[in-house]
Structure 1
Amino acid sequence: MDADIAELKKEVSLLRKELSRVSDEAEVRKVHFKYGYYLDKCLYNEVVDMYADHPDAYVEFLGSRYRGKAGIKRLYNGRFQSTFVKGRNGPVHGFLLDHIMMQDIVDVDPSGTHAWCRMRALMQAGTHKSVRETHPRGHVQWWEGGLYENEYLKENGVWKLFRLVADQGELRPLAHKDVSRGSLGPDEIIEQKMLWPDTRVVPFHYPHPVTGKRVSDDDLRAPNYGQDVAEAEAPLSLALPEGQKRQGEGNTWNSEGSVRVLAELVENP
């Protein structure tokens, strides 16, 4: 009888851990989907509130890094809000900005406080002909497609965006202005702009689910057709700013006798 009770307690403990993992994965997905819905309607105050207050939080966007809550506010409440909706919080008539989120892969650290998500986004955007003369974009439509490789943090029991890395592979000619100057600029310029026609692979936060290995660096590069890979641009990186670490990296899940390997990240083993 004692042995049976001990076995039941062990099974309950495993099931509790597995339920916590599944629940946390679902919550992380909801966080990002809610972020997308707020962003669709230019609710930038709500977007900023989705981010962790941790000083290591940041957004990487178009070769730029916006660090900490102050930098994140400067991007959304400054650059985006002033450009798209003239400083208001919410949509303006005739401006479309729909983010379709899909193919989400979420991994949660066993501690239940840190998570990673790789997700694809397809954005349809544009302005209606009726606002041609009043909106700074004039009359224009475009598509954007790209990947997120994000990290999430549970602060005071609530899941929040922590580090957002956006691969903006735009499906239109890109008129990217230098935003490194002025009060709305980023905290730092980084080399990785990750824009079409650059087809290098954004590194995966997870290892291969069957082999347990990560994809080799050379296989993440994108040489010209027939060109030796050694002549191609260096692989993309998920490297952190100097002095930052990835919480929970390399930890494993033990569930019902099997091991779930998490976050074998390329840059910070």
Structure 2
Amino acid sequence: MDTEVAELKKIVESLSKEVTRLADEAEIKKLHFKYGYYLDKCLYQEVSDLFADDPNTFVEFLGGRYRGKEGVKRLYVGRFAGNFVKGRNGPVHGFLLDHAQLQDIVDITENGTRAMGRFRALMSAGTHKSIQDTHPRGFVQWWEGGLYENEYIKENGIWKIWKLKYFPFWHADFQKGWSNKEIGEFVPLDSKVYPESPKGPDEIVEQIMLWPDTRVVPFHYPHPVTGKQVKEDDLRAPGWGEDVSTALPALTLKETVKKL
């Protein structure tokens, strides 16, 4: 009898852990999807409030790393709101941003207080012709594809975004497509840091990739069958028929800083 009770306790404990893990995965997916919905409608204060208060919180975006809640707000509330909606919190008539969040993979750490998530983003954006004379971007419509490899943290029992790393793959004008896009036509990369650049990042990130660069953003998880990580050389992208040694170095999920 005692043995049966002990076995049942083990089963209940195991099931309880599995239910908690599944619930945490679901909460993190909802957290990231809500991030996308807020971002779609330029609700940048709500986006900023999704991030952890932990001092190691950051966002990596287009060559810059914005550190802490102050840096997060500088990016979303300062830079994005200033550029897209003239500083307001919320949309302006005729300006479109849609960030579809797809192919979500979330893994919880053993202690249940940290998590990693990989999401694909597909964005369509632009200004309606009716506001081309009043919006600073004029008449424009574009596509963008990218990938998130994020880290999440549970603060006071609530899951929050801890380290958001966004890797844009490609950017394209609607009329010209992605194959004709010149790298120099993309949104200018950051070259100065805060406070020299009032809305700039705290650090310049060393690694940048944009089409035609096709390197693989490293996976936070091992292969589900072999248990192995993808080899570093297989994450690189040499030219057709060229040796991998001629290619750019593999990307990393580690924090890198470019020396200015």
Query: What TM-score results when the alignment is normalised by the length of structure 2?
Result: 0.91
How much has 1:166 moved relative to structure 2? Answer: 0.5
Tell me what 1:94 maps to: 94
Tell me what 2:178 maps to: none
Q: For residues 145-201 of structure 1, give each alpha carbon's deviation from its aligned partner in whole angstroms, at most 9, with x where no partner exists.
A: 011000000000000000011011123134322543420011111121221111100
- Quick check: 1:21–1:110 contact (8 Å CA) kept in 2? no
> Superposition pairs for residues 135-214 of structure 1, below 5 Å?
135-172=135-172, 173=181, 174-181=185-192, 182-214=197-229
Q: For residues 31-59 of structure 1, give each alpha carbon's deviation from its aligned partner in whole angstroms, at most 9, with x where no partner exists.
A: 00000000000000000000001111111
Tell me what 2:14 maps to: 14
Tell me what 1:224 maps to: 239
> Structure 2: which amino acid aligns with 1:55?
P
Q: For residues 239-266 of structure 1, give each alpha carbon's deviation from its aligned partner in whole angstroms, at most 9, with x where no partner exists.
A: 1369xxxxxxxxxxxxxxxxxxxxxxxx
Counterparts of 2:123 and 2:233 in 1: how far apart (Å)?
30
> Which consecutive segments of 4 or more residues in structure 1 shift more than 6 A?
none
How much has 1:64 moved relative to structure 2? Answer: 1.0
How much has 1:235 moved relative to structure 2? Answer: 0.2
Q: Which runs of 5+ in 1 are unaligned?
A: 243-269
The answer as to 2:76 corresponding to 1:76 is: yes
| Matched-pair identity in % | 64
- Quick check: 2:62–2:189 contact (8 Å CA) kept in 1? no
Tell me what 1:59 maps to: 59
How much has 1:88 moved relative to structure 2? Answer: 0.1
- Quick check: 2:190–2:204 contact (8 Å CA) kept in 1? no
Q: For residues 191-219 of structure 1, give each alpha carbon's deviation from its aligned partner in whole angstroms, at most 9, with x where no partner exists.
A: 21221111100000000001110001000
Counterparts of 1:89 and 1:228 in 2: how far apart (Å)?
50
- Quick check: 1:63–1:194 contact (8 Å CA) kept in 2? no
How much has 1:67 moved relative to structure 2? Answer: 0.9
> Structure 2: which amino acid aligns with 1:221?
R
> Superposition pairs for residues 226-245 of structure 1, below 5 Å?
226-240=241-255
Q: Which runs of 5+ in 2 are unaligned?
A: 173-180
> Structure 2: which amino acid aligns with 1:52?
A
Shift in alpha-carbon separation, 1:96–1:185, aligned structure 2, 3 A = same
Counterparts of 2:214 and 2:135 in 1: how far apart (Å)?
33
SS state at 1:86 partner: coil
> Structure 1: which amino acid aligns with 2:218?
P
> Structure 1: which amino acid aligns with 2:202?
D
Tell me what 2:176 maps to: none
Query: What TM-score results when the alignment is normalised by the length of structure 1?
Result: 0.88
Q: For residues 116-166 of structure 1, give each alpha carbon's deviation from its aligned partner in whole angstroms, at most 9, with x where no partner exists.
A: 001101001011000000111111111100110000000000000000110
Across the aligned residues of Structure 1 and Structure 2, the Cα RMSD in angstroms comes to: 1.2
How much has 1:2 moved relative to structure 2? Answer: 1.1
Counterparts of 1:241 and 1:191 in 2: how far apart (Å)?
6
- Quick check: 1:207–1:215 contact (8 Å CA) kept in 2? yes
> Structure 1: which amino acid aligns with 2:36?
G
- Quick check: 1:31–1:159 contact (8 Å CA) kept in 2? yes
